[in-house]
């Protein structure tokens, strides 16, 4: 069982809605990530938080707004999304924030988002 | 452009055989390399990572890295039907402070048939 918990597992929203995806981990990891995965495609990095500060934003549109309230929680706020934003949104965490094994990620089960 | 390419699939092997998954990368500055397995409808899970040239073994899995050839592979010995999944090669290529900034390959679908 994954130690990274994501809610909700499924979300359907209209283009004018505001919703949030939530992620929680209790492994003491200090780096947390949002990845986006379209069907039959590899995950693509969106955001990285390290020690609760935004470290990387991969030029993600502002309709996606990340938030890290504390070291265990990561949110992704969604507003005015487009149908092409429909995808699986994966949260991940890692123990290391530097060094060769920073890519040792623990993924949550994902939130499958459908934008109508 | 930093790219990660995997051998095109799908790859089908009989139960008990060795499955060989290959990956090449374009950025010579890449430092560490990861193999993730993703079952259909599930999230990726880490199988192995390697950052030194040579082989690294963990149970039925062996990762091989050749930085001169910019090549990394994953061998699965005694393949089982439960190994049937998409295997994602991922490269960490942004330096020592790169966090988990991974570039993933397109994945290779492996099917192990009884």
pLDDT at A101 over 90: no
pLDDT band at B7 (very low <50, low <70, confident <90, very high): confident
pLDDT at A4 over 60: yes
pLDDT at B26 over 60: yes
Q: Which of A23-27, A74-78, B4-8 has the lowest mean pLDDT?
A: B4-8
pLDDT band at B18 (very low <50, low <70, confident <90, very high): very high
The distance of B104 to chain A (nearest Cα, Å) reads: 6
**Pick from A33, A107, A110: which is nearest to B45 by CB?**
A107
Average pLDDT value for chain A: 92
> Which of B5, B18, B15, B8 shows the shortest CA–CA distance to B61?
B18
pLDDT for B59-77, tens place per residue?
A: 999 999 999 999 999 999 9
Tokens matching residue B38: 């993703």
| The pLDDT of residue B94 | 59
Q: How far apart are the first and last CA of chain A?
A: 31
**Pick from A48, A99, A103: which is nearest to B34 by CB?**
A103
| The pLDDT of residue B30 | 85
List the single best residue of A105, A110, A111 to mutate versus B (max B Cβ within 10 A): A105
Q: φ and ψ at B27, to 5 degrees?
A: -90, 110
CB contact under 8 A, B97 and A43: no
Length of chain B: 114
Chain A residues lying within 8 Å of B96, measured CB to CB: 98-100
Sign of the alpha-carbon torsion through A115, A58, A95, A70? negative
- List, in order, residues 6 or more apart from A89 with CB less than 8 Å away: A6, A21, A34, A35, A36, A37, A76, A110, A111, A112, A113
Mean pLDDT of A73-83: 96
More confident residue, A101 or A82: A82
Mean pLDDT of A56-84: 95
């Amino acid at each position: 069982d994954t130690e990274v918990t994501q809610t909700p597992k499924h979300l359907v929203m209209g283009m004018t809605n505001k919703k949030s995806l939530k992620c929680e981990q209790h492994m003491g990891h200090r780096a947390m990530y949002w990845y986006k995965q379209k069907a039959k495609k590899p995950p693509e990095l969106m955001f990285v938080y390290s020690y609760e500060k935004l470290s990387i934003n991969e030029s993600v549109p502002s309709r996606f707004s990340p938030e890290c309230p504390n070291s265990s929680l990561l949110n992704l706020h969604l507003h005015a999304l487009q149908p092409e934003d429909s995808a699986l949104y994966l949260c991940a965490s890692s123990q290391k924030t530097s060094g060769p094994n920073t890519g040792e990620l623990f993924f949550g089960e994902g939130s499958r988002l459908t934008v109508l | 452009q930093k790219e990660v390419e995997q051998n095109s699939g799908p790859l089908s092997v009989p139960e008990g055989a060795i499955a060989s998954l290959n990956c090449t990368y374009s950025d010579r500055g890449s430092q560490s390399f990861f193999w993730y397995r993703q079952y259909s409808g599930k999230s990726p899970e880490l199988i192995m990572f390697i950052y030194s040239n040579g082989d690294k073994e963990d149970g039925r899995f062996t990762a091989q890295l050749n930085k001169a050839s910019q090549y990394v592979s994953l061998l699965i010995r005694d393949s089982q039907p439960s190994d049937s999944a998409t295997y994602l090669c991922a490269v960490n290529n942004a330096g020592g402070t790169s966090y988990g900034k991974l570039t993933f390959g397109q994945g290779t679908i492996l099917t192990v048939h009884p």
